[in-house]
Structure 1
Amino acid sequence: MTYTPHGKHLIAGARVAGDDHFTSAPVDGAAQRFSAGSPALVDRAVKAAEDAFASYGHTDTETRASFLEAIADEIEARGADLTAIGSAETGLPAARLEGERGRTTGQLRMFAGHIRKGDYLDRRHDPAQPDRQPAPRPDLKLVQRPLGPVAVFGASNFPLAFSTAGGDTASALAAGCPVVVKGHEAHPGTAELVAEAITAAAAKCDLHPGVFSLVHGGSLAVGKALVEHPLIRAVGFTGSLRGGRALFDLCAARPEPIPFFGELGSINPMFLLPAATEARAAALGEGWAGSLTMGAGQFCTNPGVAIVLDGAGADAFTEATAAALAGIDAQTMLTDGIADAYRAGRDAVVSHGAVNEVLSKTCQGRSAAPSLFVTTGAEWLAHPDLSHEVFGPLGIIVRAADMDEMRRIAAALAGQLTATLHMDETDTDHARALVPVLERKAGRLLVNGFPTGVEVCDAMVHGGPYPATTFAGTSVGTMAIRRFLRPVSYQNFPDALLPGELR
């Protein structure tokens, strides 16, 4: 690694030291010292963003598209260093980080192409009808306009794709909104290096430097100051239900409430229908084990629950899953805190009287080993606490007595990011009964696949009913841009005063 972090915030193009500091906790290599955020630094960054909005909020789509592409170029130019520092801080393998970097830059370029087309603006025009009776109609034009400065909280589990230049930041910048990022303390060096790339791109495109700022993590007061700042117009967040709900409540309690686009948690249930289970129970168990343990189970789309009809097929599925998980060693988790939370969640399930332990390995320190449990549909329905997310490689098999109970389990679910049906053609009638229920529970429905892995494309929805997300929408794909826009109607406006997209 040739890059050595300077440990400062990047506020409106300037490296700014803070009065307080924290030390990183890398998996490999020496710890680094970073300036910690403060409400005063947040205020400085947000005011710079508001200054930038006066110009950036009125840029044309080509200017913003070129900026997004320049960010992608600058990130790629720092690719080797990003992989090295990201691996050291998080323990993620180089291949995973390189893939995540490609997803991040690909998303930026996709958003650039999307806004160039202009469809996202939803432009509408009702021409004047001065002779209409009984009353004339004025000339009305509508277009989507950017909200203003946006706060983004970096995620722990995706140091690139959901953090400093991730989906929320890319969406807001595409919409015309300056961004202030609160970096995650799990990977501050990675956040800093990506922030350097965005800052360089802004300078290259001759944009107001306040279009982007990074304030490193600090006390809870830093996040509070960011979401409560009167100049912030929306918040993007990926993290825990507890932390996200606290920030959501702060946004709602402001004198002028603002939208909080939070992704908070999901157990991503899978429903194994009878014919599919009978035909390929072993393959389904092996596939689930691979998805469940991918990235040490630290994906928001990790399928933590499998619902299957009681019987021989359920036995075969359970045995195949347990055998596959038994061969998977403990994996390094992103932070000590995440590892501790996983063990606490696993221990709570182990001690729960409504479940039976199939497999649970001992793990210590910053590692996580897979765990597997089984319960009945009746016990699952009677104990809602079993449906709480355990962030890590833990799976629960729910053996439903019949299809009616399986449907009741689906109906009792809280909001999810995904829901999966494993089915064969002869399961179609059973699936037809479940789909209307699951459409109300999840943002993405799958058939015969595993939800880990979120394609970045126009048709993707990465969101769902609460608590999966706080607002029905998506944080992945081109529809994510719409979160940071609002419709404005212009009545009888001369062309000279209209936004450029309406002239």
Structure 2
Amino acid sequence: MTAVASINPITGETTAAVAEPTSPDEVARIVARAAATAPLYAALPRNARSAFLRTMADELEAARDDIVALAHRETGIPEVRLNGELTRTCYQARFFADVVDEGGYLEATIDNPGDTPMGPGPDLRRMLVPLGPVAVFGASNFPLAFSVPGGDTVSALAAGNPVVVKAHGSHPALSLLCYDILVTAVQKSGVPSGTVGIVFGTQAGVDLVAHPAIRAVGFTGSLNGGQALMDIITSRDEPIPFYGELSSLNPLVVTDQAAAARADEIAEGLVASVTVSAGQLCTKPGVIFVPRGGHGDALVNRIRHLVQDSPAAVLLNGRIHAAYNELHADLGALPQVTSLAQGLDAPEKGFFVSPRLLEVQAEDLTGAELNECFGPSAVVVRYAPESIDRALELLPSSLTATIHAEDDEAELVEELSGRLLPLVGRLIFNQYPTGVLVSWAQHHGGPWPATNALHTSVGATAVRRFLRPLVWQNAPRHVLPEELRDEAGDIPRRVDGQLRQPASVSV
């Protein structure tokens, strides 16, 4: 059995054997432990879960130097970005602790018994309850914020579910380190010992998803990988929810007036958004609609020069490196596609690539040019007012869409918004899609193939993925959760149709 190896993408060299692939028997043991833990963890008071999440954040922060150094070695991501990502990871753990304490996520609702137009009504009390053990697949491009200690993990834990993480093959040593830190947090917090688990290897991921005790799956990765997991789920005796963030092109449209007024500003912001983190962000703008004419020409020329001056970037692993080069070979073979610019030469060692900028005319779009490219490249689509509608119709759905326009273009902005809204989960104006704030109002999702659900993987409502509704009818007080008892008053609740805030909250 081949050991799971740690590879340095800067050199392409294997640096260590991290772990043996988790055997089917061991996967079954880990999941069984999580299943036995599930009712114990779900029964904990909310303040115990929130304290656990804050302890996780504290333990991660205490190990910052070791985490960042190891993450850099395994991913090639610059340490400054990794420090920022670790700060975000700690923040979102504490953020979800606040969500748990606030309690509104439970959607606690009470209908007291009484007469109704339908006749006498029973006592009905409803709230959301945990699903059970959740499988989380770590992402390659966010080795902290979307991996072992990341958003799927902490939102599932916040909802009251044990988590078993499938470590990503691009950073197995970091995954193991972060898992050990989570185990320390479990021990210090006094939550049940089976609350977190980890498995290694591709087959272990298959076995994990197929296990009947797993109640939901969170996944951030490729469309092909997500579809493979969905196939496993549909073959189970009992299908379960699959929450996948899969593929996104994130179109950005620039109007003629915006190009005239802010060419340098837009070009600099755009190239930064395309090349940050080596273009390996799910929100990277991959297709840029620029008007024909002198204003658009000036903007494209500025973008081209910035790309030409951009340094080579290291990609996360050999698979992404090969896919980047293969996609650009395929695009280069299309007669309608022109290469506008290529960045500085890439070193031969490791998984380095040069940034790329391509161009196609809107009338010539076939859809073959509109594939997500994981890496520092983008396709510019030159359009005339009469040709943009058809071009937008060819776009696949995405996480985001962006419009750069001027204040006096209200009618055009309204029209573009109406065309883009059905395709995305977040619409951005005069900013850039990279950089996703963890907040109460955030939504990080979109129609297929961006995601396969109406839910978000970032922000407070991410917990909703790992909860289900349950109603207690005419239940004795002692079987009710604390949040549904008459005397409970520390969370928002809807009672007989009226929303009631906790006494300490001003409405």
3-state SS of the aligned residue for 2:450? coil
Confirm or deny that 1:254 pairs with 2:226: no
Counterpart of 1:183, as a letter, is A
Indicate yes or no: 2:138 matched with 1:160: no
Which of residues 433, 450, 453 is equivalent to 2:432? 450
**Match of residue 55 from structure 2:** 70
Q: Deviations over 1:50-97 (max 9, x none)?
A: 011020012121011001001001111111100111111111111111
**Residue 31 of structure 1 pairs with residue 15 of structure 2:** yes
Question: Is it true that 1:103 corresponds to 2:88 in the alignment?
Answer: yes
Deviates most, 96-105 or 275-284:
275-284
Describe how 1:70-219 pairs up with structure 2 within 5 A.
70-129=55-114, 131-132=115-116, 135-216=119-200, 218-219=201-202
- Measured in 2, the distance between the counterparts of 1:93 and 1:499 equals 47
CA shift, 1:309, in A, is 1.9
Counting aligned pairs with the same residue, the percent is 41
Give, in whole Å, the separation in 2 of the partners of 1:501 and 1:359.
59
Name the SS for the 2:121 alignment partner.
coil
Partner of 1:469: 451
The alignment yields a C-alpha RMSD, in angstroms, of: 1.5
Asked if 2 retains the 8 angstrom alpha-carbon contact of 1:274 and 1:427, the reply is no
Structure 2 spans left out of the alignment, 5+ residues: 486-507
Structure-2 separation of matches of 1:418 and 1:30? 36
CA contact (8 A) 2:249 2:396 kept: no
Equivalent AA in structure 1 for residue 156 of structure 2: A
How far does residue 175 in structure 1 lie from its aligned partner after superposition? Answer: 0.1
2:249 alignment partner AA: I
Shift of 1:133: 6.0
> Letter of the aligned partner of 1:178 in structure 2?
P
Superposed CA deviations along residues 109-131 of structure 1, whole A, max 9, x for unmatched, are 011011101100111111101x5
Counterpart residue type for residue 428 of structure 2: L
Q: Does the aligned pair in 1 maintain the 2:31–2:133 contact within 8 Å? A: yes
**1:385 aligns to what SS in structure 2?**
coil
SS at match of 1:32: strand
1:214 is paired with a residue whose SS is strand
SS in 1 for 2:470: strand
> How many pairs does the alignment contain?
479
1:384-463 superposed matches below 5 A: 384-402=367-385, 404-463=386-445
Poorly superposed stretches of 4+, deviation over 6 Å:
none
Range with greater deviation from structure 2 (283-292 or 483-492): 283-292
Whether contact under 8 Å (1:400, 1:406) holds in the other structure is yes
d(CA) in 2 for partners of 1:329 and 1:261? 35
Rounded to whole Å, the distance in 2 between the matches of 1:356 and 1:502 is 63
Distance 1:485 1:108 in 2: 18
Structure 1 unaligned blocks of 5 or more: 1-18
Paired residues for 1:355-374 under 5 Å: 355-360=337-342, 363=346, 364=348, 365-374=350-359
Task: Give CA deviations for 1:361-406 in whole Å, capped at 9, x if unaligned.
Answer: 55444002111111111212xx11211111111111111121x432
Q: In 2, distance between residues paired with 1:23 and 1:263?
A: 26
Give me the whole-angstrom Cα distance separating, in 1, the residues matched to 2:321 and 2:108.
48
Partner deviation per Cα, 1:208-254 (whole Å, 9 max, x = no partner): 111100112x13x2221111110101000001111111112222332
Deviation at 1:169, TM superposition (A): 0.3
- Find the partner of 2:303 among 321, 326, 342: 321
Partner Cα separation in structure 1 for residue 117 and residue 286 of structure 2: 61
TM-score normalised by the chain length of structure 1: 0.93
Q: Are 1:86 and 1:190, in contact at CA under 8 Å, matched by a contact in 2? A: yes
Is residue 410–residue 434 contact of structure 1 (8 Å, CA) maintained in 2?
A: no
Equivalents in 2 of 1:474, 1:368: separation in Å?
Answer: 32
Query: 281-290 or 57-66: which moved more?
Result: 281-290
**Aligned 1:43-58 pairs, distance under 5 A:** 43-58=28-43
* Residue 496 (str. 1) matches residue 481 (str. 2): no
Find the residue that maps to 1:395 and give its secondary structure.
strand
Distance 2:382 2:137 in 1: 38
Aligned-partner Cα distance in 1 for 2:65–2:117: 68
Q: Which amino acid aligns with 1:395?
A: A
C-alpha distance in 1, partners of 2:105/2:199? 30
**Partner in structure 2 of residue 377 of structure 1:** 362
Distance 2:83 2:342 in 1: 32
The 8 Å contact of residues 313 and 376 in structure 2, kept in 1 or not, is answered as no
Can you list the C-alpha shifts for 1:456-481, whole angstroms capped at 9, x where unaligned? 11111111111001112211111101
Q: Deviations over 1:279-330 (max 9, x none)?
A: 1223212221111111110111111111122211221111000100111110
Alpha carbons 1:121, 1:143 under 8 Å: kept = yes
SS in 2 for 1:262: strand
For 1:376 and 1:254, how far apart are their aligned partners in 2? 46
Query: 1:13 maps to which residue?
Result: none
3-state SS of paired residue (1:24): strand
CA distance in 2, matches of 1:468, 1:339: 22
Partner of residue 227 from structure 2, selected from 235, 245, 250: 245
- 2: CA distance, partners of 1:428 / 1:344: 41
Scaled by the length of structure 2, what TM-score is found? Answer: 0.92
